[in-house]
Amino acid sequence: MPEQPFRSGYVSIIGRPNVGKSTLINLIVGKKIAIISDKPQTTRNRILGIKTLPEAQVIFIDTPGIHKPPKLMNKVMVKIALQAMSDMDAIIFVTEIKRKTHPQDLFILKSLGRVKCPVVLAINKCDLLPQYPEMNIQQMTENYQSLLSFNGIFHISALTNTNVDSLLDRVVGLLPEGPMYYPEDTVTDLSEEFILAEIIREKALLLTRQELPYSTGVLVESIEEDDREEETLVVIHATIYVERPSQKAIVIGKGGQMLKNIGTQARKEMEAIFGLRVFLKLFVKVKEKWTENAMILKRMGL
């Protein structure tokens, strides 16, 4: 048999907030590159994840959830997501099991109707179906089919890795012949500062639960190695931005306990990344309307 041609290309993962896009891309690339929480708009930036297979290299673009943007930060996020639809070799539109088509899905489908590349539908969170016997996934599938012509429809669970391999196989088959754009051991192009800042933000969102709004940002101010006689220590200074003093009080917590917990959990994950001991120094800063501050947003990579 003749050798199969190597395929490569860019694939955008599109969907409204909190449907599991970040969980899906982390699963596919085999490494955590996008943070996860149950709060909407957790993903703010374009996240690039690279999956290299013997026969192909797929460059995934995980995007912020598409939603109605009330602030400058949200407008930037939605712009990033919509831009990710252009110049792609394929698009994965991710939604989740629902009784009715979500209004934001209708907006996304309208935008997808204008793209030229193939679109694959991934209906996520199918692991929840046993809990909701009233859900008719076949009816839901037919509803989406009536709204757009898809190049494949998959009922998946990014949480339990159900049908994700089949989804990936389909996407690879849609890619053109092409070279390997990145070294085969590369999984993302994100900067070290960005990944570390996202780890801190994730821990803050998870630990404060519903008390803290999503409008919380993190900037890593410096990363330095401190070579000591007995070991090398990575010293990281980072600032958590909030918009009001009441939010600062939540992040710090009684006696500084919340901030300590955030730092401890973030530090443990960072030490696993570096393979070295980490000293993490966190500061909390109130910056009113920072989500409207273009300079801060730029420093955060937005």
Q: In the chain, where are the structural domains located?
A: 7-174, 192-299
Q: Which helix (H) or strand (E) holds 47?
A: strand 47-52
Higher pLDDT, 22 or 210: 22
Distance CA 25, CA 101 (A): 23
* Whole-number pLDDT of residue 34: 66
Residue 157 has pLDDT above 80, yes or no: yes
Return mean pLDDT, the chain. Answer: 83
Residue 71 has pLDDT above 80, yes or no: no
- Same CATH fold assignment for domains 7-174 and 192-299: no
Q: What's the distance, CA 131 to chain centroid?
A: 26
Residue 294 has pLDDT above 80, yes or no: no
Q: Does domain 192-299 have CATH number 1.20.1300.10?
A: no
* Whole-number pLDDT of residue 101: 82
Categorise residue 222: left if φ over 0, alpha if ψ from -120 to 50, beta otherwise: beta
Residue 264 has pLDDT above 80, yes or no: yes
What's the pLDDT band for 111 if we cut at 50, 70, 90?
A: confident
Residue 170 has pLDDT above 80, yes or no: yes
* Whole-number pLDDT of residue 61: 85
The amino acid at residue 295 is: M
The tens digit of pLDDT for each residue in 51-64 reads 999 999 999 987 76
Residue 83 has pLDDT above 90, yes or no: no
C-alpha distance across the termini of the chain, in Å: 48
* Whole-number pLDDT of residue 72: 45
CATH C-level class of 7-174: alpha beta
| Sign of the CA dihedral with 95 first, then 101, 103, and 108 last | positive
* Whole-number pLDDT of residue 43: 44
Distance CA 67, CA 283 (A): 31
Residue 186 has pLDDT above 80, yes or no: yes
* Whole-number pLDDT of residue 127: 92
